[in-house]
Chain A
Amino acid sequence: MKTKDFISKIGLKLIVAVGVITMVIIGVFSFFSIQAQSDALLSQAEIQANKLSETIKNSTHSSMLQNKRDEIHTIINAISQETSIREIRVLNKEGRIMFSSQSDLIGKMVDKQAESCYACHTADKPLERLPINERVRIYKISPDSPRILGVINPIYNDESCWSADCHVHPKEQKVLGVLDVKMDLTDVDRQISNSEFRFIIFAIIAIVALSFIIGFFVRRWIGKPVQELVKATNQVSTGNLNYTIKGSGKDELGILASSFNNMTKKLAEARMQLFQSDKMASLGRLAAGVAHEINNPLTGVLTYSSFLLKRTKGNPEMQEDLQVIVRETKRSREIVKSLLDFARQSVPKKQRADINEIIEHAISVINNQLSLKHIKLEKNLDPNLPQVTVDTNQVQQVFINLIVNASDAICEDNGTIKISSSSISLSSFGTAHIKRAVCPKRHDLIDNEIKIDGLPTVKVKVVSNGTEGMLNLDPIYGKHRHHYGIEIKKGKTVQVACPKCNSSLIVNDKKCPKCNSSIFSFEIPSQGMFEACTNPDCTWEKWAEVDEAGNKEYVEIKISDNGCGIAKEDLAKIFEPFYSTKGQTGTGLGLAVIWGIVDNHNGTINVDSEVGKGTTFKIRLPI
């Protein structure tokens, strides 16, 4: 199997979708969490820096007052030994660096726009009091250098300053200078980037794990059943309708698989029926032909031999032989007769009949035979069965033959034959569509210009009340969404004609059974006549042929026995003529005749059988 197949497309899509979602979720989560972490780390660093700044200020205070500059230098240098401290400096009011941990900068002037100054000096007039939260700033010297946290601590003029011995600062001065501490944020940055890295690793692991889990379950729950389905459809497309999907679960795909199985079973049945129908028709013709042709030579044999039999009365030896010839020829005659019964081309003599009554008749004919064999007969007949149009003789023959077959199949003592009847309704195929329509002179009435529901309509010319116009009929039988190009006045005579040759479509000897208006009709080639009412308010339409075909109500008769059953390989052949499992006792025509009769009634016959358990014949006759 290729990897391409291994990760089926649905799986891949699901993995991508879930991966993206995971990535977004983890990304958002880590963004906020890293943000919070870095905020916490920074504020901690700020607090630390502030404290440090205060400490420096306090520890240098006395030295400042005594103007011991060396001491101050020493203190600043000592404190700046700490690795995280980048620089400590003290600026005077003019911006001159008075003290610095970097001694080479001492005495230099700092621009008022510089990092250390702009917090107070952004406004036109310098601030005299700087709030504590504005003392901190974070900046980079160059884009690839680590971040630096700077804390400005203004040194305010207080009494001890202007009252000190050196008296350098006048009393009016508010701010004497600034203590500027710069700390390296490398540690903090490293911590933040560490957590970022951890989150990325976490996201990757999560996505990979999820992909594997999704891939596994997609393969198990979707890939395999779909593969099985594809295999099955391929089998079906090559004509193997006996293929069934095994072990499907109860999920949606399982339901699809079992519905697929059901469909192939139905298809197989339908194909069987069609195939059988076709075969029977040709066999029927063949049988009729053979029977007809063989009758004449058989007549020769039978007449001459029976004639000889008559003439050789005094010769017992010859008589015996001739009797065999006559007897066997008579037997051939019976076979030919049953062949003809099978092939009978004549239309069944149909009439409305109660199937239950026919079943009762059939039972009464063979009841004696059944009781002799101690076979129990169970009837389960639906008393509300609708009447069916059948040839009662033929249908009775069907039941008798099936019951006799059932009794022949029963070899044990506690044999039971069950007969049931019920009415069933099979779903119809949907609404009929008029695809072709012609006038009596074979002009096409289909109009592709005006469409109803996207379908070409049937266009006829209407003359009503002296005006002439077109009427476009809804091509869906019974929907009646006609397009009127003319107003048809109620009660007035209406003429309907072909728009091309003007020949009238009105049916003269028939009125609408609903509203008694006149009706019109046109032919739907090879599908009979379509009739409709001319009254625009009346929805009466009739398409007899489709009505008949759409007739999906059936009477179902089941005849089952608990006999020896039919082997699976025989099941397919039992309706074939001359196929018999009864050996010498049967002609092998019984079921073929039954099949022919049921088919002649547009019905279907099915058989279900299990060796050792019994056989059920199911006949459906349309009502």
Chain B
Amino acid sequence: MNDKRDILIIDDEQVILDAVFKIAESEGFKVETALNANEALSKINQDNYSAILCDIMMPEIDGLQLLDKLNSDHKKIPVVMITGYSTVENAVNSLYKGAVDFIAKPFTFEEITSAIYRAVAYGKLQSKIEEAKKNNKEGSVIYVPCPPRYKRLGNISWMSLENQGTAVIGVTDLYLQTLHTLKYIEMLETENVIVQGNSCAKLETDDELTHNLLASVGGRIVERNEMLLTDPALLEKDPYFKGWIYRIIPSDIEYEMKYLISCSSDRM
């Protein structure tokens, strides 16, 4: 893997390419652009990229098909989906298919920057894991996978059903590993309704980035972990138990479940 931190942006709209190009370049990334999936695929074959930002709605080959293609080619490049047609369902589906993240158009400078940083960090983490596997370093723990009975939305957030029908949601350690140290967490008040794949909390890190945390399931918030407000570090220390974020009454758990990945497959 190339260490250049190159990123590839794929979108059929020139203005998006220009904007993201400018932003990414200002952040010190080396950026390539592609106006369609075919052009992108040939670039991917020539070069190694640290991360790919890809629009879902594109003529001919769309973002999801491109994702499938990359998966079948065993290209382990972190892909962030960009969706203009913000049907959350599409985006959540892309996470299920292996995208690391997604952002909805129109996005702000902060949103796209934080997504790029996370994706690049994710790529690095992946290669570390690969390396560890190669070197067979059993003892080294790079991240803590989520407990077997949990389910996760991509590698971002988890949820765990409780006996009384409520669900607890939180953020995965893998996601936290892609962030810098947490400074503050901004949470919604109780009684608010969150939607699967939509932002449910903002994580502020010490590199001045704000990360929108995507909700693993939708529902009405009945309780939130007030301890996190005073002690954000708790999230990093124990992301799966004491670092829970919300307790919710799920609204449509049966339907949303099909986009969640069971954590029991994570430990081998």
Contact = CB atoms under 8 A, between A and B. Distances in A.
Contact of A303 (B20, B191, B218): B20
B241 interface: no
B193 A296 contact: no
A121 interface: no
Given A346-B87, A365-B191, A393-B218, A303 B252 contact: no
B108 A300 contact: no
B22 A307 contact: yes
B109 A340 contact: no
Given A349-B255, A351-B254, A365-B193, A299 B15 contact: yes
A309 B109 CA distance: 9
Which secondary structure characterizes the binding site on chain A? helix
Interface residues of B, number: 32
A302 B252 contact: no
Interface in A283-304: 288, 291-292, 295-304
A299 B57 contact: no
B263 to A, nearest CB: 24
A306 B23 CA distance: 10
B105 A295 contact: yes
A295 B191 contact: no
Nearest to A304: B19
Contact of A396 (B16, B19, B251): B251
Interface in B247-263: 249, 251-252, 254-255
Contacts of B105: 295-296, 298-299
B145 to A, nearest CB: 29
A344 B89 CA distance: 11
Contacts of B254: 351
Nearest to B193: A365
B189 to A, nearest CB: 10
B251 A307 contact: no
Nearest to A349: B255
B26 interface: yes
A191 to B, nearest CB: 104
B19 A299 contact: yes
Interface stretch (A64-72, A245-253, A326-334, A570-578): A326-334
B84 A368 contact: no
Contacts of A393: 195, 218, 251-252
A377 to B, nearest CB: 16
Nearest to A341: B86
Contact of A330 (B19, B108, B195, B251): B108
Nearest to A330: B108
Contacts of A444: none
Contact of B109 (A307, A351, A396): A307
A341 to B, nearest CB: 9
Contacts of B109: 302-303, 306-307, 309-310
Contact of A302 (B22, B57, B87, B107): B107
B108 A306 contact: yes
B207 interface: no
A309 B252 CA distance: 39
A499 B159 CA distance: 59
Interface size grouping (class) on chain A: 35 or more
Interface in B124-149: none
Contacts of B89: 346
Contact of A298 (B106, B191, B195, B218): B106
A301 B110 CA distance: 14
Contact of B86 (A303, A311, A340): A340
A300 B19 contact: yes
B43 interface: no
A392 B106 contact: no
A391 interface: yes
A337 B83 CA distance: 12
Nearest to B109: A306
A336 B15 CA distance: 19
The listed residue with most B CB atoms (<10 A of its CB), out of A298, A299, A311, A344, is A299
A396 to B, nearest CB: 7
Contacts of B23: 303, 307
The listed residue with most B CB atoms (<10 A of its CB), out of A351, A364, A365, A393, is A393
Given A351-B255, A396-B251, A300 B15 contact: yes
Contacts of B186: none
Contacts of A336: 106
Contacts of A391: 252
Interface string A304-335: 10110111000000000000001001101100
B220 interface: yes
A302 B249 CA distance: 34
A299 B104 CA distance: 10
Contacts of A349: 252, 255
Contacts of B251: 392-393, 396
A492 interface: no
B15 A351 contact: no
Contacts of B195: 393
A329 B106 contact: yes
A365 B105 CA distance: 29
B255 A300 contact: no
A287 B240 CA distance: 41
B110 A306 contact: yes
A441 to B, nearest CB: 36
A453 to B, nearest CB: 46
A296 B26 contact: no
Nearest to B90: A346
A114 to B, nearest CB: 123
B252 A299 contact: no
Contacts of B22: 303-304, 307
A296 B13 contact: yes
B191 A302 contact: no
Given A296-B16, A349-B252, A351-B255, A303 B87 contact: no
A296 B252 contact: no
The listed residue with most A CB atoms (<10 A of its CB), out of B22, B85, B195, is B85
B249 to A, nearest CB: 8
B85 A326 contact: no
Contacts of B26: 307, 311
Contacts of B106: 295, 298-299, 301-303, 329, 332-333, 336
Contacts of A310: 109-110
A351 B255 CA distance: 9
A593 to B, nearest CB: 14
A361 interface: yes
A524 B57 CA distance: 37
A288 B252 CA distance: 25
A401 B22 CA distance: 41
Contacts of B18: 300
B112 interface: yes
B16 A368 contact: no
The listed residue with most A CB atoms (<10 A of its CB), out of B108, B218, B249, is B108
Nearest to A353: B252
A354 B249 CA distance: 16
A300 B218 CA distance: 30
Interface string B77-101: 0000000111101000000000000
B87 A344 contact: yes
A216 B109 CA distance: 86
Nearest to B15: A300
A336 B20 CA distance: 21
Contacts of A361: 220, 249
Question: Nearest 8 CB-CB pairs, A to B?
Answer: A306-B109, A303-B19, A299-B106, A300-B15, A298-B106, A306-B108, A295-B84, A296-B13
17 contacts: A292-B57, A296-B84, A299-B13, A302-B109, A303-B108, A304-B19, A306-B109, A307-B19, A307-B23, A307-B26, A307-B109, A332-B106, A340-B86, A351-B254, A365-B191, A368-B191, A391-B252
Interface of B: 13, 15-16, 18-20, 22-23, 26, 57, 84-87, 89, 105-110, 112, 191, 193, 195, 218, 220, 249, 251-252, 254-255
Given A298-B105, A332-B106, 10 more contacts: A288-B85, A295-B106, A297-B15, A299-B16, A299-B106, A302-B108, A304-B19, A306-B108, A310-B110, A346-B89
